[in-house]
Structure 1
């Protein structure tokens, strides 16, 4: 009985020891922060050494005598005992029982629940792998702070913000990184909707862009190394398609023969029924439309059907030109309306020598001879495609799909007739031209974005150019390296190498991440199998490291632009050679297919220029464009509107395309020219005979009047027919593809 009385008296003394708010605060401080010295405790409590020393010493002595805290003679610091720890937790439980039940939480599952600090601890352990003891400490601290708010209604994001603030205060940055909530403010969503409404987008685009932004944040926070993510955010590099970086490749080169032979395979991952092998040109076109629609969810930018008129030639046998043209017009219109990604077709003017002896597949996927037997049909299809595009120009221009005219057998006979028709379209900027006459271009295949696939990886044109794709592109900010170097050449190249390594690391991670998505079954269409072989040959995929602002960097470093002197061109060659050496060395080490290219993403050119202006000021940074919308030179190293002779421009472009093989496109501006098809045809002859430019197009801004349903060349402010201003839409090619701009 005496022992029980003593225990009760001791319990009462312990409770009296923490009856003082100051002593309870000391216990909580040691519970949360660990061991602290006499001075540290006093400073944290904001007590005065001269005024409060006696009172403070009394409180410490009381806690020590009750075995709630103890001192370490070596470190001369106080720490909380197990009894003190139990008492803090008991005090928290009492407070929670009084106030906690009054706090309601709206969870991320859209449910209303009573507050429970254990759920905070569980989240810390599950999401960030925080040790259980530490998680409980943080949860208790968050609970105390939330109770002080006095609110009866909490949200999951608010609680997470408190937890993250505590993690930052404790220096637990890695845990905080993993606990970050993805998303963006309500105001930003409103801005997105307003911006897209001005661009004639729809509600589906709002959802897509919001989703991409979340995935982009996730990629920067949890996938890429901190140094790579920071390089993108700060503007040293630009990672394109960040919203789909860990989900899908950017460009894919289809093989129409695969689907002609097998139809659409039903495999278990695909939610499709068996589609029969095509038995007519119409059913072949229908099949390819289905392919583009199904693959669109697994490709972020562009899908390409190369050699299209060759592979479809067997289906055109014995058809009249009028019937073929009608089928093609329906095919083009359907793609334009129903395929969400960019699409492009490579049209051969003849049969490539390396394809002529290949088995041809036609009706029902059967073998029908060799493709060399169908040269007339392939030319007829090529001509009909161009006729279909010409008809579209009478109203609104058909900008998707894009058509790539492949020149490989010279200009003569029926080939010349088709090329002349192509140049009638070229005055409106429509087709692209691939010059495949040079020996090094023999096996080249292009996407309209400018990405080039060539048989130099596995040394097999078929494996290297079709049923493969471009994983993505990272863009290096060359002017940033110049500004950072302060015109010191050694530092300039050191900075470029630093940026390149970060960009290549991002591309390496993308490649392996897409491999993981494939293994997880998240790319079911691209990874369908036939006879043990995947449709998408991931191992052969290309990754592009490109750059912006070389011309501006030259101007800063040596005071001359690339078109002004041979010295500037020589310096540009040094930069490009340095980039190429670094890329090839990294590629050999990683066992991956890397190439140097010119960027197909205009956003990078504007974003990086704006970031540099913010950092260095308008007085230092050299840009193109207007002050309100500055940008760096990008796809064209020579500024697009530079006043130099066309011959000089073509000479520089020819030189650059040979040493920048991954992606390129020469845009020959028609803005200030009253060009005729014959004049453009003459330029093409000159390119083929003298300049050997691999990929080019004639660039003509277009204006469409929705009232008259007519298209005009140039950027007009008023319709020439109805004189309307508000019904005009402009189409401008900022990089490789036309983009819509409302006047």
Structure 2
């Protein structure tokens, strides 16, 4: 008889009759019940007892253990406690757990199988739970993961979300991230309220960066003064990484700035940026010659575009806000650097940022020259995204300063450089603070990530003045908790041409988004309390007092972003016309957005959570919503009537893949392929900027290989002064030969220099320049559809 054979009185009661029990592995069901080494058999001896040859199981830590029904019981008792926290439903009782375990063992015995695995045992348990009506226990007891075939596809760069993020690289870390993403997304969908999970899965709304939903906030714009005062603690606690004191030299300050953004990626799902970058850096440049400042800027840019340290081995998704001079509201504020606030106390001189106008101008010039040169091959730098701030402070020259410093560039000359960079690479983004609604000079404001806008002023922040002066380490930290996008075309499909039904359904989706936000806060509270967001919640050693300093991020001040997708297709289905085709459709879009903006403010007051309405960048969401609607039989004909892209190819290919060449238009945009003049496009899109307070962008796709920089500048400044556009970019398509490294304007299939077809095309995917090869089918189709404009259109 085999050594693991047991003689028990009854196969359903053996473990409760006092028989000697084997040692138990304390891991999960999968760890305890991996493939068994012997076929199960059940024989009856002459004295009527059962002989059970329940085979041994192999644990994941390399041990062989005997089958033990009580492991199932214990796992159920332990794991179903999650239902109390996540679903407010009691966990399983001991008696019912024993009953489920008995039934599981009975079914295993009846299967007459040669091999048994832990996943199969778990699925049997979950099937029994479902049969007994316990979805809530099944959802927390099931497993998340990937079939072996799918995991192998991920290793090869295909399969699961292969083109979800164009910033990801082709490397092993990307494969590792994709596997982790798959597990995390499944986990959070199982733990979310089933109604919310179904809304996401069905395509009514989209929870962005779902893989990070339970562990981190979305994005953050940082105040560099914090790191220039406290120094750098990359791990947030000082326990794992070396802690650096405040930078004393410019080179160290630049490296601290780089590492701060890189370290922040461990605590945030989205982009990281620096507000007012050059002004805060300027004291480190004091008295330095231009070439040395240019070297510092070159070091910063190359570090940001060569550190493959972000999630999945990608570059840090970063941005810097750049002003050509010191903004007026900062000119009389004390400088913060080298571990001190230079306000005349603690042995310091009194220094203000206005003393460093020279350094800011030279820093701006240096940044533009570095980006104009491009990298060693002549490619553009895609990070950090240069957010060029067009401010009232710099629309007129400081003639007295210019006369006293004739060797320094003027504001006009510096802005001209940004358009030279635009004409060459299309790199800059223009943060237009001239419109009255932007509130320039009354507070601080910045664009971040792919078009999210954040601001602070004395009305919204009771500590605004203290933050301006960095009193007791108080500083600005602006960002978002989470982004949820709404499928606006589907709202029209359900409204049946009734305006009130349309608005009601949009508001209903906003209500559902609030439940997601509340869930996020509930989940992250213990994460934060348990020190699982250490970089964001760090309190470094104060260099003056030696005590703990101010917390890095005021988590409670982060906003909750509701994004819109497909407003154009929504009104197209509802009215029969697109926004650019009829006044009625345009007016309905404005009214719908206004209704949502007003309702968002109501929700902010009701829940005590700041809601920001935004245009979602939608690298994949515009595709996902349209494909989801195409998959729903009740919506199929409706989506076909309005969706953009190659509808025929999508219909033919939907049984084989969901990466299809169709999409809904981003945010409140006119469709990228609409045959309208640039002026008409601007006249429509600029109206939405004051309404979409969480962020919007105007894309101008350029068709010329070498557009005129002066013409671009004149056109852009006219837009800034005479429209409501708060944020816009000119995109230039480019190609690079991967054989002879030759750069070309336009989307080329072959190298004009050597004839090679080993070409990488470059363009702006949503809000940043990236290789087209990593785009999904919808974005590639959109790239093909885009209507491009020449200099003659910009008059």
TM range (shorter): 0.7 to 0.9
Kindly tell me: are residues 263 and 98 of structure 1, through their superposed partners in 2, closer, same or farther at Cα, counting changes over 3 Å? Answer: same
Aligned-partner Cα distance in 1 for 2:50–2:306: 61
Residues 147-199 of structure 1: CA deviation (Å, up to 9, x unaligned): 12223432211100111111112222222122111112112212222335997
1:735 equivalent in structure 2: 766
232-241 vs 530-539, greater mean Cα deviation: 530-539
> TM-score when scaled to structure 2?
0.78
* Contact 2:485–2:564 (8 Å) recurs in 1: yes
2:21 equivalent in structure 1: none
107-116 vs 496-505, greater mean Cα deviation: 107-116
**Which structure has the larger Rg?**
1
Aligned-partner Cα distance in 1 for 2:243–2:181: 32
* Contact 1:103–1:154 (8 Å) recurs in 2: no
Kindly tell me: are residues 583 and 705 of structure 1, through their superposed partners in 2, closer, same or farther at Cα, counting changes over 3 Å? Answer: same
Aligned-partner Cα distance in 2 for 1:110–1:240: 39
2:115 equivalent in structure 1: 153
Residues 594-617 of structure 1: CA deviation (Å, up to 9, x unaligned): 110000232111101100011146
1:124 equivalent in structure 2: 76
1:419 equivalent in structure 2: 415
* Contact 2:219–2:271 (8 Å) recurs in 1: yes
2:85 equivalent in structure 1: none
1:260 aligns with 2:228: yes
Q: Decide which of 480, 483, 493 is 1:473's aligned counterpart.
A: 483
Kindly tell me: are residues 200 and 355 of structure 1, through their superposed partners in 2, closer, same or farther at Cα, counting changes over 3 Å? Answer: closer
The 5 Å alignment of 1:540-555 reads 540-555=557-572
Kindly tell me: are residues 619 and 451 of structure 1, through their superposed partners in 2, closer, same or farther at Cα, counting changes over 3 Å? Answer: same
1:623 equivalent in structure 2: 643
Aligned-partner Cα distance in 2 for 1:486–1:668: 34
Aligned-partner Cα distance in 2 for 1:97–1:372: 90
427-436 vs 188-197, greater mean Cα deviation: 188-197
1:716 equivalent in structure 2: 748
Residues 264-309 of structure 1: CA deviation (Å, up to 9, x unaligned): 2487454222313212221110111221222221122211011111
Aligned-partner Cα distance in 2 for 1:390–1:500: 43
Aligned-partner Cα distance in 2 for 1:264–1:685: 39
Shift of 1:626: 2.5
Aligned-partner Cα distance in 2 for 1:515–1:544: 19
Aligned-partner Cα distance in 1 for 2:65–2:141: 21
* Contact 2:490–2:629 (8 Å) recurs in 1: yes
1:453 aligns with 2:454: yes
Aligned-partner Cα distance in 1 for 2:134–2:218: 36
Aligned-partner Cα distance in 1 for 2:769–2:513: 27
1:315 aligns with 2:301: no
Aligned-partner Cα distance in 1 for 2:48–2:686: 77
1:220 equivalent in structure 2: 189
Instruction: Name the SS for the 1:563 alignment partner.
Output: coil
1:642 equivalent in structure 2: 674
Shift of 1:493: 2.5
The 5 Å alignment of 1:47-126 reads 98-99=51-52, 101-107=53-59, 109=61, 111-126=63-78
1:439 aligns with 2:436: yes
2:202 equivalent in structure 1: 234
* Contact 1:429–1:700 (8 Å) recurs in 2: yes
1:538 equivalent in structure 2: 555
Kindly tell me: are residues 326 and 673 of structure 1, through their superposed partners in 2, closer, same or farther at Cα, counting changes over 3 Å? Answer: closer
1:377 aligns with 2:377: no
Shift of 1:333: 0.7
Residues 459-497 of structure 1: CA deviation (Å, up to 9, x unaligned): 638589932321121000011111122323333223222
Shift of 1:625: 2.1
Aligned-partner Cα distance in 1 for 2:51–2:341: 80
Instruction: Name the SS for the 1:446 alignment partner.
Output: strand
Aligned-partner Cα distance in 1 for 2:390–2:292: 26
Q: When you count helix as a share of all residues, which structure comes out higher?
A: 1
1:345 aligns with 2:328: no
2:330 equivalent in structure 1: 355
1:679 aligns with 2:641: no
Aligned-partner Cα distance in 1 for 2:587–2:709: 35
Q: What number of residue pairs does the alignment pair up? A: 653
Instruction: Name the SS for the 2:606 alignment partner.
Output: helix
1:32 equivalent in structure 2: none
The 5 Å alignment of 1:573-652 reads 573-616=590-633, 619-621=637-639, 622-627=642-647, 628-635=660-667, 637-652=669-684
Residues 616-663 of structure 1: CA deviation (Å, up to 9, x unaligned): 465321212223410111145211232212122222222111111101
* Contact 1:239–1:474 (8 Å) recurs in 2: yes
570-579 vs 673-682, greater mean Cα deviation: 673-682
Instruction: Name the SS for the 1:98 alignment partner.
Output: strand
2:41 equivalent in structure 1: none
Aligned-partner Cα distance in 2 for 1:465–1:704: 42
Kindly tell me: are residues 482 and 650 of structure 1, through their superposed partners in 2, closer, same or farther at Cα, counting changes over 3 Å? Answer: same
1:8 equivalent in structure 2: none
Aligned-partner Cα distance in 1 for 2:125–2:670: 52
Instruction: Name the SS for the 1:153 alignment partner.
Output: coil
* Contact 1:306–1:445 (8 Å) recurs in 2: yes
* Contact 2:272–2:449 (8 Å) recurs in 1: no
1:185 aligns with 2:161: no
> TM-score when scaled to structure 1?
0.83
1:690 equivalent in structure 2: 722
Aligned-partner Cα distance in 2 for 1:95–1:154: 27
* Contact 1:482–1:557 (8 Å) recurs in 2: yes
* Contact 1:103–1:151 (8 Å) recurs in 2: no
* Contact 2:579–2:589 (8 Å) recurs in 1: yes
Residues 571-616 of structure 1: CA deviation (Å, up to 9, x unaligned): 0112112211222111111111111000023211110110001114
Kindly tell me: are residues 364 and 343 of structure 1, through their superposed partners in 2, closer, same or farther at Cα, counting changes over 3 Å? Answer: same
239-248 vs 448-457, greater mean Cα deviation: 448-457
Aligned-partner Cα distance in 1 for 2:772–2:62: 40
Q: Decide which of 89, 95, 98 is 1:133's aligned counterpart.
A: 95
Aligned-partner Cα distance in 2 for 1:690–1:319: 39
1:171 aligns with 2:133: yes
1:246 aligns with 2:214: yes
Aligned-partner Cα distance in 1 for 2:236–2:513: 37
Kindly tell me: are residues 577 and 424 of structure 1, through their superposed partners in 2, closer, same or farther at Cα, counting changes over 3 Å? Answer: same
Aligned-partner Cα distance in 2 for 1:566–1:347: 38
Aligned-partner Cα distance in 1 for 2:144–2:487: 27
Aligned-partner Cα distance in 2 for 1:495–1:366: 52
Residues 24-70 of structure 1: CA deviation (Å, up to 9, x unaligned): 99x9xxxxxxxxxxxxxxxxxxxxxxxxxxxxxxxxxxxxxxxxxxx
Instruction: Name the SS for the 1:634 alignment partner.
Output: coil
RMSD: 2.6
The 5 Å alignment of 1:275-354 reads 275-338=244-307, 339-340=309-310, 341-354=316-329
Kindly tell me: are residues 269 and 165 of structure 1, through their superposed partners in 2, closer, same or farther at Cα, counting changes over 3 Å? Answer: farther
Kindly tell me: are residues 392 and 704 of structure 1, through their superposed partners in 2, closer, same or farther at Cα, counting changes over 3 Å? Answer: same
* Contact 1:455–1:465 (8 Å) recurs in 2: no
Residues 518-577 of structure 1: CA deviation (Å, up to 9, x unaligned): 111011111111555311011110111011111011111101111122211110112112
Aligned-partner Cα distance in 2 for 1:117–1:362: 64
Unpaired stretches in structure 2, ≥5 consecutive residues: 1-8, 14-43, 81-90, 311-315, 343-348, 398-409, 469-473, 541-547, 648-659, 775-795
1:429 aligns with 2:436: no
Aligned-partner Cα distance in 1 for 2:49–2:685: 72
